Amino acid sequence: MDIELARTFIEIVKTRSFVRAAEHLNISQTAVSARVRTLEERLGRSVFVRNKNGASLTPAGEQFLRYAPMFVQLWERARHQVAVPKGRRGVLTIGGELSLWHPWLVDWLHWMRRTAPDVALRVQVGLPESLTDQVAAGALDVAVMYAPQYRPGARVERLLEEKLVLVTTDTDAKAAEPDRYVYVDWGPDFAHHHELSFPEDTNPGLFVGLGPLALTYILEAGGSGYFRQRVVAPLIAAGKLHPVAGAPSFVYPVYAVCSAHADDVLITLALDGLRSIAAANKAEMGL
C-alpha cells in the first residue's frame, strides 16, 4: 500500500471534498483524483461517490476507513524508529502552538537536554487541528496546545491553567478605551465568556488571531487587550503595561495530546518534563 494513497483518502474523508483535500495536501486536484483511481484499482472497489455536495464514502470506502489510519500510523512509527541517530536511544517528536513555544516549551527543551541528553528531539510549530491530526496519525508523539480536539489514537492531559488578563498601555488603567481595544482570538471558550462579560463589545474594530502579534502591536501603537498573565507580568513590572482595574480574567488551560502508539517510556519522560515546567510556572504565578 502506498502511504500517500491512504493519506489522500483520509484527507478527502475529513474535508469531504477533492478540491479542499488538494489544497490541504498542497497538490493538484488532478493528482488527488489520480491517487483515488489508483487506490480504487488496487482495492477493486469504488471508495467515493462525487456529487454537488462534495465526496461521500461508498460501503467499500467505509470499510477501508477502518484500516487507512492504521497504515499511516504504522508507517510513521517505523519511520521514527529507523531515523534514530547513532548514539541515541530514541527519537521524541513534539509540536506546539506558536504562542506556547516562547518561553514555555523552550524551557522544556532545556529540561530535556539536561535530563535525557541521549534522546533525539524533533520539534515543530503548528495550528491545533494540524497538530492533533499528526498525533493521531503517529507523526508526532506529543503536541502541546490550548484547545485540543479528541481523536482516536490520541490521549489528552491537562498540564496548566493559565490566566488571561486585560491590560492597557494607558497609565490611567481604570477602563479600556473601546476604540483602542484589540480583540485577541483565544478560542471559542474565551469568545463565549468575553461576550457574556462584554455584551456591548460584539464587533471589535481590531481582531487579531495571534496573541504575540497583538501584544507587539499594542506595545508599539498603544491600546488594550487580553493576554496571558505570565507573559505580561514582566511588562507590568516595567511599567509598559497596566492591569485594567476591575476587569474580569479568564482561565486558559494548556493540554498535552499524546499519541497512543508512541514509546511509553519517551512519552512518560516528555510528560514529566512538561509537568515540571508547568509546576514552575504555577509557582511563578503564585498559584
Q: Please give the Cα distance from 88 to 146 (Å, whole number).
A: 31
Average pLDDT over residues 80-108: 83
Return the H-helix or E-strand segment holding 73: helix 68-82
Question: Would you give the DSSP letter of residue 85?
Answer: P
Contact status, residue 260 vs residue 167, Cβ threshold 8 Å: no
Which whole number is the average pLDDT over 53-65? 90
Cβ count within 10 A of residue 48? 21
The fold for domain 161-252 equals D-Maltodextrin-Binding Protein; domain 2 (3.40.190)
What residue spans define the domains of the chain?
3-66, 73-157+254-285, 161-252
Rounded average pLDDT over 193-217: 84
Q: What is the pLDDT of residue 202?
A: 62
| Domain pair 73-157+254-285 / 161-252, same fold | yes
pLDDT of residue 286: 57
Does residue 49 register a pLDDT over 80? yes
| pLDDT for res 284 | 66
Mean pLDDT of the chain: 87
Question: What pLDDT is attached to residue 161?
Answer: 85
| pTM exceeds 0.75 for this model | no
Which class would CATH give 73-157+254-285? alpha beta
Which of 30-34, 130-134, 260-264 ranks highest by mean pLDDT? 30-34
Q: Does domain 3-66 have CATH number 1.20.1070.10?
A: no
Half-sphere exposure of 77 (CA within 13 A, CB side): 16
- The three grid cell numbers given for residue 246, joined into one nine-digit string: 476591575
Q: Say whether pLDDT at 175 is over 80.
A: no
Angle at Cα 225 formed by Cα 219 and Cα 228, nearest 5°?
Answer: 90
CA 183 – CA 41 distance, rounded (Å)? 51
pLDDT-based confidence at 154, cuts 50/70/90? confident
